[in-house]
Structure 1
Amino acid sequence: MVRRLRRSERAAALLSAALLLAGCSSGGAGGGAPGPSTLTAGPRSPTPAAAGDWPTYHRDALRTGTAPDAAPVGPLARAWAARLDGAVYGQPLVVGGRILAATENNTVYLLDPGSGAVVWSRNLGAPARAAELPCGNIDPLGITSTPVYDPSTGLVFVLAELAGGRHVLNGLDAATGEPVVRRDAEPPTGDRLAHQQRSALALWDGRVVIAYGGLFGDCGNYRGAVVSVPVSGAGELRSYVVPTGREGGIWASAGPVVDGDRLLVSVGNGESTGGAYDGSDSVLALTPELTRADLFAPASWAADNAVDADLGSLSPVRVDRFVLALGKRGTAYLLDAAHLGGVGGQLTEAQVCPAYGGAAVDGSAVYLPCEDGLVRLGVGADASLSVAWKLPLGRAGSPVVGGGAVWVLDWQNGVLDAVDPASGHVLQHAEVGAELPHFASPVLAGGRVLVGTADGVTAFTFG
C-alpha cells in the first residue's frame, strides 16, 4: 500500500529538493544602495510552514512560544556548534526542517540541521559600527531582530542596519538565498542613526511589520515607531509614531503580537514626566492601517518615565480573554483584551518582577523572563494573578515550552535549562558557553534545541 504524504510532508520535501538544487553556494555582498521597491521574477517554491517548523519568533504570531509537537524531554547532549561571522541575537528559524540564522555582520545563513554545515549564505552589506553611532552596546550593529518567514512567497525577511545607519528590509528566497525584495524601511521621524531595530519582525495581513526603538543609552533624536511593508516590496509604507516628544521606543525582543485583526505592541518610556498623557509607557492596539485603536497605560506612567521603569521591556502577552502587561517596574497588569482600559484601567495588578523579552504561554500559565529568574504566573478566569514558583537565574532569557518542559537560557552565565512546569525544578541542564546575546531565547524543532550565540548557532539533542 502506498502511503500518501501529508501536506506538511509534501511542503518539507519540496523545500528540501530546492535546497539540494541550490547546493552550498554562498551569495556575495549586497551592500549597494537599495533601488526602488522590488519583487524580482524567478522560479521559487513557496512552502507552507510544516508541523514542527519555527517560522517566526516564539513559533506563532501570538508569540506563545509553545511547541506542541516537541519530543518528550530527555538527556541534553551537544550536537554541533556552527561558527558564523557574527553574533546571532534573534532566534534561528526552522523552515522545511532547515535552519535559518542571521548575524550582526548582516549575513543570513541556511544550515543543515544534522551537522550545522552551511548550505548557503548571503551577506547584505557592511553593518553600522559603534564609532558612527551616538551610543549603544552592540558592535557591529547589523541584523538584531528575529527574521520572519512568509509561506505565501517562500521568502525569509530580515531587517539589516547598514553603515551610515540605513535600515533596509530584505526578502531572500529561503531555498536558495537569492535576494528578491530589497527596500529602505526607515523610521518615519528623527535621526535614523539614533534608532535601533531590535523587536522581532512580524507577518500580518500580507505585510512585514517592523518596530523601532532607540540604542542602549537612549541617546539622540528617536521616537518609537511601527512600519509595515507589503511582502511584494512594492506599494505604500504604513507607519505609526508614538506621539511623545522623544523616546517611547518599541524594542522588546519578542516584537509585535498579531492578535486577530489588531497588532499589540509595548512602548517604553517617553521624555515627558508630567502633564498630559503622551502615548509612552503603554500597551497599544493598532489597526492594519497602523492607527491606534486602543491603549493601556498605568496611572503612574509619568513617574515610570522619570525613572526608566516602563512597560516597553516585555511584549504584550495574550492569555485567554486577557492581555498581560509587565515591564521594568515589575508590576503585572491584567487587561481586558476587548477593551485595554485606557490610563489606569487594568482589571488586576500584582507585583511580580521586572521582565524582559517575551513570555511563553501554555493555557492559563505564563512563564516570565524575569531579571533574576524564571517565574510561572497563573492567570485565573476571575482575573486573579498568582505566582506558582520562581527559579533563580543570573539573567533569564525568553522561555519556550515543549516536550513536557519549560526551556530557558540564563544568558548571563551561558546555561540552558529544561524545567518542570509544575514544580520549577530543573530536569536537564547544559552549558552553552560564555555569556550569550541579551534576552536569548531557544528554539525547539526537529528534536533539537537551537541557541543563537555570540559567534553562531549551537544545537543540542534531547530525549
Structure 2
Amino acid sequence: MDYWIRIFLVLVASLWSAVLPANAQVNVTQEHNNLSRDGLFIDAAFTRSAAANLTRDLNFDGTVSGNVYAQPLYIEGGPNGPMMIAATESNNIYALDAVTGSIIWQRNVGVPVSSGLPCGNINPVGITGTPVVDLASRSLFFDALIDGPTKKHFIFSLNVDTGATNPGWPVDVNATATYNGIAFTSLVQEDRGGLALVNGIVYVCYSGYAGDCGVYHGWVVGVDINDPTNVHAWATTAIGGGIWGHGGVASDGTNMFVVTGNTFNTGGNWMGGEAIIRLQAGPTWTGQPTDYWVPINWFSLDNSDTDLGGVSATVIDVPGATPSQLVLALGKDGNAYLLNRNNLGGIAAPVAQANVGGINRGTSAVTYHTSQGTYFGFHNDAGAIAAWRVTATSPPTTVNAWTISQNGRGSPWVTSTDGTNNVIVWVAGVAGDQRLHGYDGDTGVVIYAGGGANELMSGTRQWNTGMVARGRIYFGADNKVYAFRVPGAPTPTPTPTATATATASPTPTPTPSATPTPCTAPAAPSAQAATNVTFSSFTVHWNSISGATGYRLDVSTTNHFTTYVPGYRDLDVGNVTSYPVTGLSAHTTYYYRVRAYNGCATSHNSNVKNVKTLSCKPAAPSAQNATDVTSSSYTAHWSNVSGAIDYRLDVSTSNTFATYVTGYQDLSVGNVTSYPVTGLSAHTTYYYRVRAYNGCATSNDSTVKSVQTSP
C-alpha cells in the first residue's frame, strides 16, 4: 500500500511540475520582450513541428481604430484577466481580451496630427513607438503626438487595468525637455522607437521625420515614473542625428544604448551623429570616448545620408569571446558593427565589422543562442532575412549563417522552447506578402511558409514586429490585431472580467472600424518632370491616385533599375505627390519611378523619368562696373550664377593680383551680387574679380574690372 501511495505522490508531483510552467504568469511588457532588444520569446508550445502548423485564430476579434506601427504587449495578473495592449496612430490605446480579442477598455488621448508637419511618411501621426508597462505599479507608458495650435508630444502614463490617466501625467515634452540650450520642438521630432523602462525611469527616443526636414535632433528624454516633474534629456549637438530604429532605446540593465543617424552642417566636426551612444541614468552623458563610438568614415556617411542608425541598438552577450559584452549596430551602408559596450572607444575601428548585404534601416535586429553559438539576425531593404554567427574568439568575428530571400520590411523576432532549443526566427512580410514566415535559427530552413488563405493579413506597416505569448503570435495592422496559434497551445485562463470603467477622454472615443474588406490594387501613377535640380539633389513629382494611401519610390542610375541609389529602393514616402531626392553625385543622370499602394495592394510601376544633376563646378560670374565710387571706397558688382550660395571676392592694386588689399583675398561675401569695398587710398586704381561657390565647388575667376578712387 505504501508503495502505491509513493508512486501516486510521485506522479502528482510530476504532473504539478509540468502544470506550473503553463500556469506561471506570462508578460510581454516592452518592445522585443527584453531591454536588450533581443526579440527572444521563450514558449514551450513553439516546437518546430507545432510552428509548422501555425494557423490564424479566426475567433479572435482584434478590431481597433487606426494604423498600427507599435508592437502589441501582453499582460496578465490584473482583474480583467490576460489582456493584449495595442496602440494606434489615431491616438487610441486598447486593452483587448487575449483570448477573444474583444475590448476590455479603450482610451483616446487626443487628436492625431494629419496635416501641417514639414515632411514625413506616416499619416496621421499619433502613437508610433511601442509602449512599455511597469508591472509593479500596473502602469502603461507611451508617447503621443497631439494636434492643436502647437503640435506637441506628450508622454502618458495610464493604469494598465483601467485605462485611467495616472496622477501627474501626461508630460509635455516641449515644455520640459532641454539639453545644453537646445529646446525640444515637437513639430520636427518623431517617436518611432520603443520606450524603455530602466530602474524607475521611462526613456523615449526621437528622430526627425522622413525627409530630414527642419531643425531636428536625436533626442532621448527620461521621466521619473514616481515623479513626472523630474525630466532629463540628451540630444545631438548637431542638427539631425535622429534615432530611427523600431527598437528605440536598448539597455544592459544599467546603461542605455541608442544609435544615431546622419547630421548636417558639422563642418567635419563630430557632434553626436553616426554613433552608438551609451547613456547613464537620467539620461546623462559623459562625452568621453568610453561612452560613444563613431566610424572613422562618419563624415562620408553624413554626406551621403548613409545613416549608421539604420537599425536600433541590440545588446549581445557572447560567452567565450573577448570582449564578450557587446552592442550591435546595423547601418544603411550594409555593414554590421560590434562594439565593446563597456568601452565604446570614440572615433575608432570597431571590435568587428562585416558587410552583411543590403541597406538596413528603420527596423530592429534580434539575437539568440543555440548549441551552435550566438547569432544576430535582421531583415534588410534588399528583400532578405539573414542570420550571422558571432565567434567566441578574441576578438570576436562574424560569419554568415544563412540568408533567405523574403520580401517585406518587418523587424524579426525569435521563439525558443527553452532559450536555446527549437529556435525559430520569425518575420512578417509587411509591405510585402503580408504573411508570417518562420526559419530555423541555425540553418535558415523554412519552418513556416505563410499558411493559407486564412493566414493572409491586411494593412501591415513597415518596421513592425510580432509578439508571442501562450502559444500565440499577435501582430498589429491597420484597424486590426491578428492572433495566430500553434496546435495544442494553452488557453490563458481569464479571471471574471470586470466591467470596464469609462474614463473621460480629451476627445470623443472613435468607434472601432470594421475589419478591412478586400481591395484591389490602385492605378499606376504617372511620373512627372523633376524640379529644384542642384548638383546633389532634385525633387521628383507624380500625379495623385484615387484611393492611394501612400507611394513607393525607386531611384537608379540605370533605366532598367538593376541597381538603386542607396536609400531609394521601394522607399515609402507617404501620401504625397512629390519628394526630395538628396545625397546625389554631380553631373549624373538619374532615373526614377513610383508606385501607389492602398493598404492591401501595390500598383504597377509608373513610367520612368530621368533628370541630370548639375555640374559640381558652377559657372563663373561676370564682373560688372563699380558704382558709388569715393576717395576711399566703391561698390563692386557682378552677375548672378544659378545654384550659387556664396561669392568670393579678390581686390588688388595689380591686374595680375600679385598682392591683395588687406582683407580682400578670397573674401566670402555671401549670396549677393554687390559688395562695398572700403578702407582704400585716394586716387588709386584697384582691380577686382569674383568667383561663385555652390556648396560643392568654386568657379573659375570672373572677368577683371578696374576702378579708380576719387582724388
- Counterpart of 2:237, as a letter, is P
1:302-332: CA deviations, max 9, x gaps?
1111111112121122221222221111111
Conserved? CA contact 2:204–2:221, under 8 Å: yes
2:134 pairs with 1:150: yes
* 2:367 paired residue number: 361
Residue 447 of structure 1, CA deviation: 1.1
2:384 pairs with 1:380: no
Among 298, 316, 322, the residue aligned to 2:313: 316
Residue 286 of structure 1, CA deviation: 0.4
* 1:300 paired residue number: 297
- Counterpart of 2:311, as a letter, is L
What is the 5 A alignment of 1:100-115?
100-115=85-100
2:21 pairs with 1:62: no
Conserved? CA contact 2:173–2:184, under 8 Å: no
What is the 5 A alignment of 1:16-415?
51-71=25-45, 72=47, 73-79=51-57, 80-96=60-76, 97-129=82-114, 131-164=115-148, 165-180=151-166, 181-186=169-174, 188=178, 189=183, 191-244=185-238, 246-272=239-265, 274-293=267-286, 294-320=291-317, 321-353=325-357, 354-356=359-361, 357-363=363-369, 364-371=374-381, 372-382=383-393, 383-403=396-416, 404=422, 405-413=424-432, 414-415=434-435
For 1:451 and 1:366, the matched residues in 2 are separated by: 22
Conserved? CA contact 1:88–1:103, under 8 Å: yes
Distance 1:328 1:273, change over 3 A: farther
User: Which structure has more RCO (C-alpha within 8 Å, separation ≥ 6)?
Assistant: 1
For 2:44 and 2:69, the matched residues in 1 are separated by: 23
Residue 169 of structure 1, CA deviation: 1.2
My pick for the range that moved more, 337-346 or 218-227, is: 337-346
For 1:119 and 1:190, the matched residues in 2 are separated by: 35
Residue 215 of structure 1, CA deviation: 0.8
For 1:235 and 1:273, the matched residues in 2 are separated by: 34
For 1:178 and 1:323, the matched residues in 2 are separated by: 37
Conserved? CA contact 1:452–1:458, under 8 Å: yes
1:65-90: CA deviations, max 9, x gaps?
11123412241211135221101111
Conserved? CA contact 2:35–2:253, under 8 Å: no
- Counterpart of 1:337, as a letter, is R
Distance 1:417 1:81, change over 3 A: farther
Residue 150 of structure 1, CA deviation: 0.5
Conserved? CA contact 1:146–1:158, under 8 Å: yes
Give the match's secondary structure for 1:160: strand
Residue 340 of structure 1, CA deviation: 0.9
Conserved? CA contact 1:263–1:286, under 8 Å: yes
* 2:466 paired residue number: 442
2:454 pairs with 1:454: no
My pick for the range that moved more, 84-93 or 189-198, is: 189-198
Conserved? CA contact 1:273–1:303, under 8 Å: no
- Counterpart of 1:392, as a letter, is S
For 1:9 and 1:248, the matched residues in 2 are separated by: 47
For 1:233 and 1:456, the matched residues in 2 are separated by: 35
Conserved? CA contact 1:432–1:458, under 8 Å: no
Distance 1:95 1:190, change over 3 A: closer
Conserved? CA contact 2:243–2:312, under 8 Å: no
1:328-372: CA deviations, max 9, x gaps?
111111211221121123122110132231111112111112222
Among 439, 442, 465, the residue aligned to 1:419: 439
Distance 1:272 1:432, change over 3 A: farther
Give the match's secondary structure for 1:214: coil
For 2:118 and 2:311, the matched residues in 1 are separated by: 25
For 1:459 and 1:453, the matched residues in 2 are separated by: 11
Residue 419 of structure 1, CA deviation: 1.1
- Counterpart of 2:232, as a letter, is R
RMSD: 2.3
User: Which consecutive aligned stretches of 4+ in structure 1 deviate over 6 angstroms post-superposition?
Assistant: none
Larger radius of gyration: 2
My pick for the range that moved more, 425-434 or 301-310, is: 425-434
Structure 1 gaps, min length 5 = 14-49
Give the match's secondary structure for 1:315: coil
For 2:25 and 2:35, the matched residues in 1 are separated by: 15
- Counterpart of 1:103, as a letter, is T
Count how many residue pairs are aligned between Structure 1 and Structure 2. 423
For 2:20 and 2:110, the matched residues in 1 are separated by: 35
Give the match's secondary structure for 1:82: coil
Residue 9 of structure 1, CA deviation: 8.4
- Counterpart of 2:469, as a letter, is A
- Counterpart of 1:76, as a letter, is L
For 2:144 and 2:436, the matched residues in 1 are separated by: 28
- TM-score w.r.t. the length of structure 1 is 0.87
For 1:70 and 1:265, the matched residues in 2 are separated by: 32
Conserved? CA contact 1:274–1:302, under 8 Å: no
Residue 235 of structure 1, CA deviation: 3.0
For 1:217 and 1:229, the matched residues in 2 are separated by: 29
For 1:352 and 1:274, the matched residues in 2 are separated by: 30
For 2:20 and 2:28, the matched residues in 1 are separated by: 15
